[in-house]
Structures are given as C-alpha cells and as structure tokens.
Structure 1
Amino acid sequence: MSTTTRPTAESSARSTLEADRPMKRVGTTFSAAQLIEALPGTFRKLDPRQMFRTPVMFIVEMGAVLITAIAIAEPFLGGPVTSGGSEVPASFTWLIALWLWLTVLFANLAESVAEGRGKAQASSLRRARTGMTARVVREYVPAADPGALGSAITDMPSSDLDLGDIVVIEAGGLVPGDGEIIWGIASVDESAITGESAPVIRESGGDRSAVTGGTRVLSDRIVVRIMSRPGDTFLDRMIRLVEGAERQKTPNEVALNILLATLSIVFTVVVLAINPIGSSSNVAVSVPVLVALLVCLIPTTIGALLAAIGIAGMDRLVQHNVLAMSGRAVEAAGDVTTLLLDKTGTITYGNRRASEFISVDGADRNDLVTAALQSSLSDPTPEGKSIIDLAEIEGSVRADVAGTVVPFSAQTRMSGVDFPDGSSVRKGAGSAVRAWVAAGPGTATAELDDAVSRVSQLGGTPLVVAIRDAAGVARVLGVIHLKDVVKDGLPERFAELRSMGIRTVMITGDNPLTAKAIAAEAGVDDYLAEATPEDKMCLIRKEQAGGALVAMTGDGTNDAPALALADVGVAMNSGTSAAKEAGNMVDLDSDPTKLIDIVRIGKQLLITRGALTTFSIANDVAKYFAIVPAMFIGAFPGLAALNIMHLNSPSSAILSAVIFNALIIVALIPLSLRGVKYRAASASSLLNRNLLVYGLGGIVAPFIGIKAIDLALSLLPVF
C-alpha cells in the first residue's frame, strides 16, 4: 500500500531549496575602476593628522614638504647647487621633491584601494537595509496564529524597532532586524549577506532560529522577536567593519609600527650627523640628498604597505563569507596551534548513513537488500533515506509497497511492513527485532551477535532486519551498518594541518567507543567524548595553559561560553544570537569546516607581512650602494670602488634610488592585496623560503631596477 504525507510548512519551505549554489567570490587585485575610486581617498590621507599614524610615511611627507620649500627657494639663492663636492642639475631638487610626494601618494593609494574593496561590499549591504518597513505586533499571544492577529499588527519604519519588539514577516518580506523566530518556519534568502543564492531554512526552536536583518523571507510566515537595538544590528556592524571604520591595528601590527618608527628615528639621527661631519671635511651634503638618503634608509616599502596588508587580510575573510569582528582575530587565527572541531556537521555529515548490508545465517543478500528497502520506503528519517539509496546502489528497484506500513515508535523501536498474505518485514534495534523473531517463533544465532558487535566496535549503529513468512516462522536476514560518514577529503586536510604544526581535537557527545572510531577514520590527533559545555571550557583552558592558541566552532547557546573563551571563536550564522555574540568571527555560510580556511588566511596574513618586511629591509641594503658612494664620490674618488652598479653620475644615482623606492611600492600593491601564497610547512622551512625568495629578491631587485632607471636618466641632457 502506498502512503502519502500531508504537506507541512517545512516541506513547502524546503521545496524552494532546489537552486544550485553558485561559485564563491574570488578575490582579485585592483582594477582600473578601483584605482580611480581610490584616488580621492589617496589625496585625503595626505592630511598630516592621518599620516602621523604611520610614522615612516609621515617622515617621508615631512621630507617632501621640506624639499618642495627648498626647490621654491633655490632660484632666489643663486649659484650652482652642489652636494658632496659635486655639482647637481638645477632640476634635481624638484625631481627629488616630486618623487617623494609620489612615494607618499603610492603608499596612500595602497591603503585606499584596500579600503575601497571593503566599501564596495558595504554599499551593497546598505542597499539590503534601505527602506525596510516592520509589521509590529504590540500585544503578541504566543499560541496565536499571526494570520489571525488582524488589527493588532501596525506598520512602522525598521529604524524605530527596539530590543524585544515582535514582528510578523510574510512571504516576500524583508527581515527588518536581527532576531529569533518564535513561531513558524520559512525559507530565507540570505544572499544579500552571504552572497549565496540558495535559500536556507529558518524555524522556531533549536539552533536555526536566528534571522539577520536585510534577508528576505521567500515562503510561509514567521514571527520574530527583535534581538538588536537600532544602529547595532549585525548588518550595521558588518558595514562598519568592512568599511574599516572599526579596524584597529593588531598587536603584531602595532609592534611592527613601533619597530619601524624606532628605525626611522635612528636613521634620522644618523643622517643629521652626516652633514656636520662632512662640513668639517669641506664636503657638505645638500639637504635634498640627505632627505633622499633618509627616505632610502628607512623601511618605506613595508611602512607604505603595512595598512593595506592588514585590511586585505580581513577582506580575504569577507570574500570567504567570514566576518571577523577585529583584526586581532584574523591575526590570532594565523598563530593557532590547536583546533577544536565538533564531530556532527563538521567532521561528519551529521546524519547516520547506511554504509553496508551484512547478511547472516546463510540468508540471501538480495533478500536482505529487498527487505531493508521495503521497511524503509515510508521511513522519513535521513537514516531511512540512506538505506533506500544504498539498496538502489546494490541494484534493488524502488516500488510502492502493497501492504500496511508499521511506523517506527519509541515503544517498539522497529518499523516495517505487514503484507496481505500474512508475511511481514521488520527493521530496528537488535533487542527489539530479536524479541519479534522469538515470538515468530524463530531464533537469533551467534553469527548475528558477532555482526552486531563488529558494527558497534567500529562506532556504528547496527539495525537488524528480519522477516516472518506467511506460516508465521521468523528469521533474521542480516544487519544494516549505520555510520557517521566522515566528509570527503577531511583526512587529507587534517594531515595538512598537522604539517603546519596544528593539533586537531574532535569534540563529540558520543560514547568513547564511537568517538575513537570516528577520530581514527577522520585522522584527527585527539578526541573528547561525552563532552559537556563545561568539558569544552576545561579543555580550552588546559590547552591555553600549555601555551597553545585555541580555535573552535559552534552554533548553539551551549557553545557560547567556549566560543568566548577560545582565542578564535567562529560562530555559525545559522546559530543562536548568543553564539554569534560570543564568537569573534561569524561564518555567514554556516560551514564549520571553514575553520581550516580561516587558519590558512590568518597564516597567509602573517606570512605576507613577514615576507614584505624581509623584502623591504633587504631592499634598503642595495639602495645604500647607490646613494652612499654618490654622496661623497666627488670629494673621495676612492669611493668609486663601491659604485658596483657603475651608475652614470652622483645625481642620477641618488634620483634613481628615490624613483625606485617609489615605484617598488606600486609594484608590490597587488601582492599585498592578494597575499603571499601559503603552503603548509613548518615554521623553519617557511622562514628559509622567505629569506631565499624575498630576502635575496629584495637585494637583487634594486640593483636591476636602479641600474635600469639610471640608464634611462642618462639619456636626458641634464644628467
């Protein structure tokens, strides 16, 4: 007998979820359009009050101001311009001033382009919340159907909503603010927030009751309690964060800025001491040359790109649909040494699936597969559907069952079918099916016990399948092995994390036997079985006490304490408000395995910063060989031995170094935005690679670049 089920709100909502998910947005370097949009911000950042926050570039700007003033005054001073005993072209000071200003502008451009990418996303987010109207229920009766509330509903602007207000949202309406569903179920389009077109199910009760302001209800009707105040919704905070309005420098960034400022002060003192020393030998160096030397001595390359690297790191997370509440969280992700991952939904698919049919007592395998299929055709659970799928893979054909369906119940712990000829089939817990077989009459043999024990030791759930013929004789056909299926590719990803020096720990409420089996199959380093919220917090404290930085994911209210305690707490967007408030990151796709990607992005941020710092310092070394000999070669011809690049003249050598110093910033902007490619490796091998590629590259590149610029300048009559 075929059976039908009455459509429910959930089934109608889920029917809208047939659209395929699009491909992820992929970050790119800046385009011409982004460059043009960034230009106003580039010039606004010339304000000394803003430049002062970047000490290195502030010194460059002050040098540009000074050299510009000298260039204006030079025609009124008269006489040829000399430096270090050598005459320099009349246009030399203006050219130095021009390239110093360009150096500052290129640095500002890098930061403006990085900020512009966030502002573009913020604009699309703003459009998601514009002009929303809320249908507010002033006196809500929890048991009431909102369709019958009638005049109790009033319309008001969403900006006037306050914490605790109750709103009704019909199909096609926008969610006016962050909240939790207290009645109903609906499919919700969250593409305005996540960038994904496939709708998701949101329903009252459980951990999928949270909705975000600006998303659209596609089906049914829901009642939502507003959980945010005006101007402080998740969408508002997201807009402020991606715009950079709340981006604060991370501890590592602050430390690096202090180091750069210290180096700048030291080199400023050194440069200021050169002229008195030179004057005593009648080889005084002009101020433009001294400023050029200072700019090339201090680490201007990393100073110019540091802010862009940090902004781009957060932007890469946004491109992966992860919102970091602070740059500190992104940076901490790069230093994580322990990952805590929930088993269900993270390591496994979340629903037990049929993986194997095990026949016993000489039963025909085809009979076992057919009986399992018949007893599962009316089973609406994921486990029942997986049995049907496995049976069809085995070659069994699905067909309507001509019999009376016996649904599963907590009392019988079995389900099956009674056929018109008096025969029956049952599927269920081992003890329940044994009792059914014994009443057959029939017997269960030791072979069944061995099969059940083997499945249990593997961490699976055994379902016993038995039949009773028309004569009333019952017998066991075999066992269905239900197991938590580990997601494809996870063992390889955990091996990759292990190569990074990251320890993985699976957290589960399962018994130790099941937890051990799943942990071994997934390839995690350790597991915590029968875990409670208190157990999670104890584990985090233990890891942190040992010097580890801990990251974990969660979506439920019971995860909130551990998320708040972890160094990197990634809350699922589909989770409760408590979880999202506790975490310092929110995954808009609600994909717990993305924690692995978050760690990679954090490490990429740190490696990019380290690589470009190495390049910048190495880059400065080569520039000394261009400028230092050029400063005094007129008075001390012996310094020509240090002119290993054989530059054309002292003035062209100095100007070439300054021009290269500016152009290398532009050349490295794409790399700072895209990030240095990260490969899983130990810290020592990454350091060696950085020194080889960016250290050696930082020394070689200026020799090639400065020589090429010098050759170009030598073609000009003045040089």
Structure 2
Amino acid sequence: MEPHSDQPELAQEHPPHHDHQNHHAHMAADFRKRFWIALVLTLPTLVLSPMLQELVGLREAIRFSGDLYVLFGLSSAVFWYGGWPFLEGLYGELKSRQPGMMTLVAVAITTAYAYSSAVVFGLTGKVFFWELATLVDVMLLGHWIEMKSVMGASKALEALAKLMPSDAHKRMPDGSVKDVPLSELAVDDRVLIKPGEKIPADGVIVEGESAVNEAMLTGESTPVNKKTDDKVIGGAINGEGSLTIAVKGTGKDSFLSQVIDLVKQAQESKSKTQDLANTAAKWLTVIALGGGAITLFIWLGLMGKELSFAIERAVTVMVIACPHALGLAVPLVVAVSTALAAGNGLLIRNRSAFEQARNVQAIIFDKTGTLTEGRFGVTDTLLFSQDIDEDTLHRYAASVEANSEHPIARAIADAADNKFPIENFRGIAGKGAEARVEGKDVKVVSPGYLREQNIAMTDARVEELKAQGKTVVFVLIDGQLQGAIALADIIRPESKQAIAALKAMGIQCMMLTGDNKQVAEWVSNQIGLDEYFAEVLPQDKAAKVKEVQSRGILVAMTGDGVNDAPALAQADLGIAIGAGSDVAVETADVILVRSNPLDVVALLKLSKATYGKMIQNLVWATGYNAFAIPLAGGAMYAWGVLLSPALGAALMAASTVIVAINARLLTLSRGSDATAAMPKGKKAGDSQQQIAKRAYELYEQHGHQDGHTKQDWLQAEQEMKKNGPQT
C-alpha cells in the first residue's frame, strides 16, 4: 500500500490547514517570481543611474539623450511590479488601522519613487532610483526567504499527513481481500496489513503478531512488539509479521488526525510572548514613521542640507525600522517547537500554559498508571528453605498460576519465562490454587490459608513487606512452606530517573494516590519523592492541587487524563501522560503520547529552550533596530558614516534571516549518550534477529555523533547475542 502520489486521503480531510499551506506556497512562489524579474530590471537601472556612473568615472561614456526617461521607465516597472505586494499591504494595514511592516516598506519606496520622478521631470535634486530598485529587490528576497522558512517550519504536519497509505486490504465477509480507499473503511471492518506496510487506520489486532514502528507518531525509535488485543495506530509501519486488525478509528476520529489538529491549533495560537512581539512591532512602526519625519526635519530645517539628502536619510530610517525580524521572532519558534514536540510524542494544546512550564516549581504525579504501570508485578521473593532456589520457586508458582485469571495469579505467571507441565489444577476458594507439578503437590496461597491451616509464619521480612503495602502470597511444596512472593503495582523503570532529573532542575516532586499510606510511602521512598498524599479520592485530587498552589508556587499536574481531569484543569499546567490513541483529552494543556515520566522532563526542557529562543530573537530584533535607526538617521555623519537605503534593507533582511535560522536551531534535549539508550534487559521472546536489528538501529541513531565506528557496534551486537542487550 503506497501513499497516493498527489495528496493522501487524510490530507483531504484537513482543508483549512492545507489551504493555509497552499497560501504560503503561493506567496513564496509570487515573491520568487517578482524578485527575479525586478532583479533583471535592476541591472540596467544601476548602469543608467547618474550617481553610480559618477562613482565609477563613466558618466560621460554611458550617458545618452533621454537616458533619465529610460531610467524612469525601468524604475517605474520595478516600483509597480516588484513593489506591488508592499503597496497592497499598506492598504490592508491602514484599512484595519494596524500599521506595521508593510506600511513602513510602502512609505519608504513610495517616497523614493515620488521624489526621484519629480527630479526627472524638473525638480532640482538627485535621483536615487537605484536605491529604490535595490531596496525592492532586497525586500522581495527577504519575504521569499521568510515564506520558505514558515513553510519549512510546518513541514512536520505534511509529513504526518503523508504517513497514511491511500488504500487498505479489507477482509470481506466471504473471506476474500479487497483493496479499498481509506474513505470506505468503517469501524469494526477487518483489515489485513502485510509485512512492511503502513497501518491504514487505528485499530485492535485480532490476528497475528509483529513489531510495529511508531517513531513518527510517538518519537519511540524502537519498534514495539504487538500481539492480539493490542492497539495499533494508523500511519505506523508494520514489521516482519502479518496482522489483521479491527478498525476502531478512521478519518477525523483517528489518532493521527487528532495529532494534526492539535499541532495546527497550537501553531496558530498566540502566546503571551507573541503579544509582546506584536506590541513592540506597533511601537516600532510609530517610532519609524516619527523618526523618519524628525530626521527629515532636522537635516532639512535645522542642518540646512539639500532635500535629496534629507529624504534619503528619512527613507533609510524607515527601511531600517521595518519590523520583519520582530514579526517573525516568535511565530517561527512556535511553529518549530510545536512540530518538534509532536514528532516526539509531546502534543501541545495550550501555548500559554506550555510557555509557563519553564516556571513550574512543583509537579504532582498521579501514582497508578503514571509513576507505576498500573498492574501487579513481582517485587520481592523470600526463601524459607535451602532446598530450593529463587528461579525454581518462581517456576513452580508460575506453573500453577498460569491456569488462573486472577490479576495476582497472572502477575506471578508472567514473572517466569519457562513453566512446568501440571496436573490436577484446582482453585482454593478465596485462598489461592494448587496443582501437581513435576510429581509434587504445589500450592500458592494467601496468608488466610496459612492461618486456617495453623501454619506458623514468624519471618520478620514478611511483616516488613506487608508494611510497605505489598501483597504477599506463599508457596507450599508437598505441604512444606518453601517461600513467599511479594507483589505490588510495578514502578516504571523511568520514574526514578525522571524524578532525579526534575529535582536537579529545582522542581519539587509530589504524588497523589488513593492507596494507603504504606503503599504511598514505599513508592515515594523507591523513587525519591519530596512529598506524597495518600488515600485521596478522585473527587478530592483537584483540592490537593489547589492546596499546593496556595503555597504560592506554580504547579503542574501529571495524570492519565481520565479520572484526573479536575486536577489537570486546576493545575497551572495539566499534563496527560500515556494517552495513547485517546489524544482528545480536553482538560490537559499538554498530552504525552507515551507512558513515560521522562517525557515530562523533556517537555519542561523544551519549554525552557523555546522561551530562550523567543527571547533571543526578540532581543536581536529590537536590539538591532535600536542600534541601526540612529545610524540610519545620520547620528554618525560627522565621522563620515552613513547608511544608504539599499544597505539598510540588506541589514534588515540579514536580521530576518538570522532570526529564522536561530528558530530552526531549536532542538529537543533527550540525551545523546548511546549507552544510555541501550535496552537494559533482554525482553522475553526477543529473537537473535531482533537483538541484531536493535543493535544496528542504535548504531544508526547514535553511533555517528558519539564517535563510535560501525565495527564497535557490530562487536556490541555479538555481545548482545551472547548475553542479552544489557552490554
């Protein structure tokens, strides 16, 4: 299933965004065309300009009868054709009573054209058509570059839209497979995805197993193993297996479509920093126009200079003051940061709240499903006899529990890769289960069973585990108590690392949970929290957030976005984590696609980096104008320093380009250490081929920039094959 050659199906479902993109593309093409035509007309204009002829000493050699009229004709073409976008912009800005950069440019070139034309037809003075022509050229070039920069900043959205294939292999009721357009897919349709193909819609796997690459959607570089009942996202790339899915989301309801909408809304939303830039631009317009008038008055009225000199100074002031760089300073950073975040699984819904993230002083995490995985897992194993080792105890217990659907039983069964065959499985009502394993009678039971059978348990370690809020079950083999297994909600391996990183940034880390104090204290101690709130009911979570806010600090709340909705809304920054394909979390300011607390760290770092880029651009744009305007007005004339309108335009365009490049240099810091990116343990079921594939992917991602050679990584691959990926 290859993407459509022109426009993917999904792209057609977002006409406003693509109209916006087409508008930028049309403007870029128009500025490019006008620039080249104006540049061609500028060359003879330069040759015929008296001022340049005198500068090179060829005035008499080049001059001919009527040359000024030819110069007027060429300059008129440049003014009306090349300068038309600015004249049109002047009308629009004055009509809306919002004078800005178009007003400045239009006034500058109109003043130059009108004055020079008057000189051609009899007024005493100097013509500076060449300044007019080069000014228009530079302005057109600057706008062309700006439009290309804006288009480039939004390319991530087009790339997302192109992720969708054009058709799907639909399984028909008679068992046949028919290729149909995506628009014909409906919820609960069965779709076949072949190895290497793109998944055409959100869905649930009903048949097959494969590794799925979701990198463009979630930022997760390693393919994720998917099996029956797992969710898949439209646009992800299927690996080596064949899958059949039941469609659950198409068109505007799909994950990818919602991502595109969220990113587009965020890019178009204005932030407080944007408002600051707009305010500065308006003041700069007033300063430029007022400065031009004052410059004209000083040189003409007070200093007694000729009209041509005074007008040239006034024109240069207005050109220098054009707030192109200022107008571009914030929007470009917004576009780049939003697209960058989306590509890494961080979906920004509220720009103002995202900017505020840099000032967050405390983060409150919901426990279940956020800091923990929300499922039972084995945390501790105790042995009461030297006749058995830990691995064997696990295998015995897992073999019995593999036949039970109880959550605790499933957790014990999942803790052992290899199990023994069993006989005579029997559940012990409310107390556990038993079976014959390898000829032995094995029971996995609760503390209640021990009390019922009068089996003494005096090991202090058991009480310690219970004090931590863990569930403890016991393993009896042939009637003898051999060991105990403790279970708890599994703490995510990234949680401790994320908390350490946040505390290093000076942020207080807290936790909300409905669990009892013992469980909360254990989790808190394990990952290094500053504070926790236990036994908090869902309806009371928002009140706890408000309580922390009452301390006078800026608070972020991180939860799963469902029962945490009131708390997310109450917080200064609401972060929904692990939203998966359910991205439409209305109460969250930011949605993190993956269930990874480290993404919270990445989010705050991106907020700081984004704000830093905005401030850098604003300082550059306003600082440049503060320096250049007096220079353009002739403040250093006594030292022989003067800026011509053309040079002023060139410097202004350079300022714009610098701002654009600076915005594009924004990056998302996730750490570049290749060894840190290594998987920490070999997953169950990993084949040698999968391990080798991961090693090669790690080389491609990290090897080059970290100075490793390909041979280094091939050697690492061999070690991984022997010992698993922990090397």
For 1:462, the equivalent position in structure 2 comes to 472
Deviation, 1:234, is: 4.9
Contact residue 81 and residue 89 of structure 1 kept, 8 A: no
For 2:616, the equivalent position in structure 1 comes to 611
Report the TM-score when normalising by structure 2: 0.65
Q: Secondary structure at the match of 1:650?
A: coil
For 1:388, the equivalent position in structure 2 comes to 416
Residue 570 of structure 1 is aligned with which of 576, 589, 608? Answer: 576
Deviation, 1:309, is: 1.1
The alignment status of 1:261 with 2:275, answered yes or no, reads no
For 1:247, the equivalent position in structure 2 comes to 268
The alignment status of 1:413 with 2:461, answered yes or no, reads no
For 1:374, the equivalent position in structure 2 comes to 396
**Residues 445, 277 of structure 1: CA spacing in aligned structure 2 closer, same or farther, 3 A cutoff?**
same
Deviation, 1:658, is: 4.0
Q: For 1:187-336, what aligned pairs fall within 5 Å after superposition?
A: 191=214, 193-194=217-218, 198=223, 234-240=255-261, 242=263, 247-281=268-302, 282-283=304-305, 286-297=310-321, 300-328=324-352, 330-336=354-360
Contact residue 295 and residue 313 of structure 2 kept, 8 A: no
Supply the AA of the counterpart residue of 2:642. Answer: P
Contact residue 90 and residue 103 of structure 2 kept, 8 A: no
Which piece of structure 1 moves more, 336-345 or 231-240? 231-240
Deviation, 1:371, is: 3.0
**Residues 241, 72 of structure 1: CA spacing in aligned structure 2 closer, same or farther, 3 A cutoff?**
farther
Residue 124 of structure 1 is aligned with which of 150, 153, 162? Answer: 162
Supply the AA of the counterpart residue of 1:456. Answer: K
Supply the AA of the counterpart residue of 1:275. Answer: L
Residue 480 of structure 1 is aligned with which of 460, 485, 497? Answer: 485
Residue 671 of structure 1 is aligned with which of 662, 665, 668? Answer: 662
Q: Secondary structure at the match of 1:280?
A: helix
Deviation by residue 1:293-349 (Cα, 9 ceiling, x = unmatched): 234346543323322111111111122133334534543444444433333443234
Deviation by residue 1:101-140 (Cα, 9 ceiling, x = unmatched): 444444444323213x234324414x44x456989xxxxx
For 1:18, the equivalent position in structure 2 comes to none
**Residues 539, 365 of structure 1: CA spacing in aligned structure 2 closer, same or farther, 3 A cutoff?**
farther
Contact residue 281 and residue 323 of structure 2 kept, 8 A: yes
Q: Secondary structure at the match of 1:580?
A: coil
**Residues 405, 559 of structure 1: CA spacing in aligned structure 2 closer, same or farther, 3 A cutoff?**
farther
Contact residue 247 and residue 326 of structure 1 kept, 8 A: no
**Residues 250, 379 of structure 1: CA spacing in aligned structure 2 closer, same or farther, 3 A cutoff?**
same
For 2:443, the equivalent position in structure 1 comes to 426
Contact residue 32 and residue 140 of structure 2 kept, 8 A: no
Contact residue 296 and residue 657 of structure 1 kept, 8 A: yes
Q: Secondary structure at the match of 1:558?
A: coil
The alignment status of 1:453 with 2:492, answered yes or no, reads no
The alignment status of 1:91 with 2:97, answered yes or no, reads no
For 2:706, the equivalent position in structure 1 comes to none
Deviation, 1:518, is: 0.8
Contact residue 157 and residue 339 of structure 2 kept, 8 A: no
Q: Secondary structure at the match of 2:188?
A: strand
Q: Secondary structure at the match of 1:426?
A: strand
Supply the AA of the counterpart residue of 2:278. Answer: N
Q: For 1:500-519, what aligned pairs fall within 5 Å after superposition?
A: 500-519=505-524
For 2:105, the equivalent position in structure 1 comes to 61
Supply the AA of the counterpart residue of 1:307. Answer: P
Supply the AA of the counterpart residue of 2:539. Answer: E
Deviation, 1:233, is: 5.3
Paired with 2:157 and 2:661, the residues of 1 have a C-alpha distance of 18
**Residues 489, 588 of structure 1: CA spacing in aligned structure 2 closer, same or farther, 3 A cutoff?**
closer
**Matched pairs, number:** 575
For 1:114, the equivalent position in structure 2 comes to 153
Deviation, 1:530, is: 3.3
Deviation by residue 1:23-43 (Cα, 9 ceiling, x = unmatched): xxxxxxxxxxxx999943866
Supply the AA of the counterpart residue of 1:627. Answer: A
Supply the AA of the counterpart residue of 2:392. Answer: T
What RMSD, in angstroms, separates the aligned Cα atoms of the two structures?
A: 4.7
Contact residue 363 and residue 510 of structure 2 kept, 8 A: yes
Paired with 2:475 and 2:252, the residues of 1 have a C-alpha distance of 58
Q: Secondary structure at the match of 1:527?
A: strand
Contact residue 552 and residue 563 of structure 1 kept, 8 A: yes
Supply the AA of the counterpart residue of 2:610. Answer: L
Deviation by residue 1:367-407 (Cα, 9 ceiling, x = unmatched): 45533432224544563256537xxxxxxxx6x64753646
Paired with 1:41 and 1:569, the residues of 2 have a C-alpha distance of 42
Supply the AA of the counterpart residue of 1:388. Answer: A
Paired with 1:190 and 1:221, the residues of 2 have a C-alpha distance of 16
Paired with 1:358 and 1:372, the residues of 2 have a C-alpha distance of 11
Paired with 2:641 and 2:113, the residues of 1 have a C-alpha distance of 25
Q: Secondary structure at the match of 1:364?
A: coil
**Residues 481, 203 of structure 1: CA spacing in aligned structure 2 closer, same or farther, 3 A cutoff?**
same
Paired with 1:50 and 1:592, the residues of 2 have a C-alpha distance of 51
**Residues 286, 234 of structure 1: CA spacing in aligned structure 2 closer, same or farther, 3 A cutoff?**
farther
Residue 29 of structure 2 is aligned with which of 32, 40, 63? Answer: 40
Deviation, 1:607, is: 1.8
The alignment status of 1:496 with 2:501, answered yes or no, reads yes
Deviation, 1:534, is: 0.9
Q: Secondary structure at the match of 2:193?
A: coil
Identity of aligned residues (%): 20
**Residues 457, 51 of structure 1: CA spacing in aligned structure 2 closer, same or farther, 3 A cutoff?**
farther
Residue 607 of structure 2 is aligned with which of 602, 605, 608? Answer: 602
Deviation, 1:608, is: 1.2
Paired with 2:313 and 2:469, the residues of 1 have a C-alpha distance of 75
Paired with 2:664 and 2:542, the residues of 1 have a C-alpha distance of 36
Contact residue 38 and residue 113 of structure 1 kept, 8 A: no
Contact residue 118 and residue 244 of structure 1 kept, 8 A: no
**Residues 657, 405 of structure 1: CA spacing in aligned structure 2 closer, same or farther, 3 A cutoff?**
farther
Contact residue 345 and residue 592 of structure 2 kept, 8 A: yes
